[in-house]
């Protein structure tokens, strides 16, 4: 399956007579929202969409898939979002943009060499570029929602600014197939790097107000982790929900009730979606994830439902990584997740949560 060009997408009848703000010639703004070019444009904004096109690759491949396909996610999610004519979510009978002021803040200025020469210094430069955008959103009192692809730019670069400006404890709701908690980043072996295999461990190492007892970890499964990693989190009070438990007795309703643990005694909550959690159970074959695909994945409904429930409860920031490359319907799933998350916030504001 070949992903269509923007010209092919734009030629659809869905776009007839519509004026769509463009970040780049082939990159519309998310949901055709107004574009914020500077920090001053963020005044009075409720939520901010930020792109973080970074992939931790060596040799041009990540998980056996070309790096260019991963990097295109921030553009392609926006392209698919432009299909939708309004912010009205008919499932919930709420128009998100009638109640929330949301803007697209464009792409973090990640140096090109960070994607193709992954030295520790280049990775830190990429991380800093995302932090700059996230800090600008937080400074304005807005919620940053970062469409990324790999760590640290799509995870730790959001968690860090939240931790640094929160006086009390920070909770986390994390959906993932992997624990991302080895001691050192596999790519660089540098203790400063919160990389794809280490970002979660580094978050808890570097920021003591991120508390494991307020970590709701969802989706890991199978034989992917050494027992010592899982036991270490359990000893510190994690609330862990593997897919087998979700499928066998908890169900999505029970899982949504368990989200409360991220909010108990915390001043902020960070929500993180690693989209390999969908495995092969989503709207497209799991094999498009390359070697990251695993059985017993979450469904599109389940990840979207969790987005709605976190929105209803409120959250400080959110991020996405490992967005399966190449499938238009998977990119649309990200759009749904973001919009249902925002819809939850709107329902909360209206007293309907």
pLDDT in tens, 279-322: 766 777 777 888 888 999 999 999 999 999 999 999 999 999 99
- Under-50 pLDDT residues of the chain: none
Q: Which of 262, 256, 241 is nearest to 306 (CA)?
A: 256
**Residue 168 preceded by cis peptide, ω within 30:** no
Contact (Cβ atoms closer than 8 angstroms) between residue 66 and residue 60 = yes
- The answer to the question of residue 38 being in a domain is yes
Structural domain for 162, as ranges = 6-349
Q: Which of 136, 28, 48 is nearest to 342 (CA)?
A: 48
Give Cα 300 distance to the centre of its chain: 14
- The answer to the question of residue 1 being in a domain is no
Handedness of CA 216, 219, 222, 224 (dihedral sign): negative
Give Cα 210 distance to the centre of its chain: 18
Predicted local confidence at residue 289, as pLDDT? 81
Beta strands 143-147 and 317-321 are parallel
Which pLDDT tens digit goes with each residue over 56-75?
Answer: 876 788 887 888 989 999 99
Contact (Cβ atoms closer than 8 angstroms) between residue 42 and residue 105 = yes
What's the CATH code of the domain at 248?
A: 3.40.800.10
Q: Which residues pair with 269 in a beta bridge?
A: 171
- The answer to the question of residue 67 being in a domain is yes
- Domain total of the chain: 1
Give Cα 314 distance to the centre of its chain: 16
Handedness of CA 125, 127, 133, 136 (dihedral sign): negative
Non-local CB neighbours of 138 within 8 Å, separated by 6+ positions: 144, 161, 162, 165, 317
Burial track 258-276 (b if 16+ CB lie within 10 A, e otherwise)? bbebbbeebebbbbbbbbb
- The answer to the question of residue 263 being in a domain is yes
What whole-number distance in Å separates Cα of residue 300 and Cα of residue 335?
11
Predicted local confidence at residue 29, as pLDDT? 98
Contact (Cβ atoms closer than 8 angstroms) between residue 221 and residue 230 = no
Predicted local confidence at residue 123, as pLDDT? 97
Non-local CB neighbours of 335 within 8 Å, separated by 6+ positions: 30, 31, 77, 80, 81, 84
What whole-number distance in Å separates Cα of residue 232 and Cα of residue 183?
12
- The answer to the question of residue 185 being in a domain is yes
Predicted local confidence at residue 263, as pLDDT? 98
Q: Which residues pair with 51 in a beta bridge?
A: 107, 147
Non-local CB neighbours of 133 within 8 Å, separated by 6+ positions: 48, 50, 52, 105, 108, 144, 146
Predicted local confidence at residue 1, as pLDDT? 61
Continuous segment of H or E residues that includes residue 169: strand 169-175
- The answer to the question of residue 131 being in a domain is yes
- The answer to the question of residue 127 being in a domain is yes
Which pLDDT tens digit goes with each residue over 153-173?
Answer: 999 999 999 999 999 999 999
What whole-number distance in Å separates Cα of residue 23 and Cα of residue 192?
33
Predicted local confidence at residue 252, as pLDDT? 98
CA angle (331 as vertex; 326, 332 as ends), nearest 5? 140
What whole-number distance in Å separates Cα of residue 52 and Cα of residue 283?
24
- The answer to the question of residue 254 being in a domain is yes
Give Cα 10 distance to the centre of its chain: 26
């Amino acid at each position: 399956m070949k992903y269509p060009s923007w010209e092919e997408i734009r030629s659809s009848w869905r776009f007839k007579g519509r004026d769509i703000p463009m970040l780049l010639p082939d990159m519309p703004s998310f949901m055709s929202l107004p574009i914020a070019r500077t920090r001053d444009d963020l005044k009075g904004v409720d939520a901010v969409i930020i792109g973080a096109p970074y992939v931790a690759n060596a040799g041009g491949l990540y998980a056996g898939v070309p790096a260019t396909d991963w990097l295109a996610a921030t553009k392609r999610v926006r392209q698919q979002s432009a299909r939708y004519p309004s912010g009205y979510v008919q499932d919930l009978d709420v128009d998100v943009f009638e109640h929330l002021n949301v803007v697209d803040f464009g792409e973090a200025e990640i140096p090109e060499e960070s994607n193709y020469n992954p030295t520790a210094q280049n990775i830190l430069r990429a991380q800093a570029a995302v932090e700059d955008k996230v800090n600008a959103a937080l400074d304005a009192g807005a919620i940053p929602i970062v469409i990324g692809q790999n760590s640290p730019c799509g995870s730790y670069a959001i968690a860090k600014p939240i931790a640094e400006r929160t006086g009390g404890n920070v909770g986390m709701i994390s959906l993932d197939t992997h624990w991302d908690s080895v001691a050192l980043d596999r790519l660089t072996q540098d203790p400063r790097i919160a990389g794809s295999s280490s970002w979660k461990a580094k978050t808890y190492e570097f920021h003591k107000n991120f508390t494991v007892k307020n970590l709701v970890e969802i989706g890991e499964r199978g034989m992917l982790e050494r027992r010592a990693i899982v036991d270490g989190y359990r000893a510190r009070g994690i609330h862990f929900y593997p897919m087998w438990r979700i499928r066998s007795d908890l169900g999505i309703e029970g899982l949504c009730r368990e989200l409360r643990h991220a909010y108990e005694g915390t001043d902020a909550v960070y929500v993180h979606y690693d989209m390999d959690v969908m495995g092969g159970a989503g709207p497209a074959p799991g094999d498009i994830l390359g070697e990251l695909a695993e059985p017993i994945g979450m469904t599109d409904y389940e990840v979207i439902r969790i987005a709605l429930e976190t929105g209803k409860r409120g959250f400080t920031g959110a991020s996405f990584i490992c967005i399966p490359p190449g499938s238009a319907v998977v990119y649309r799933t990200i759009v749904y997740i973001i919009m249902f998350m925002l819809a939850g916030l709107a329902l909360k504001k209206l007293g309907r949560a």
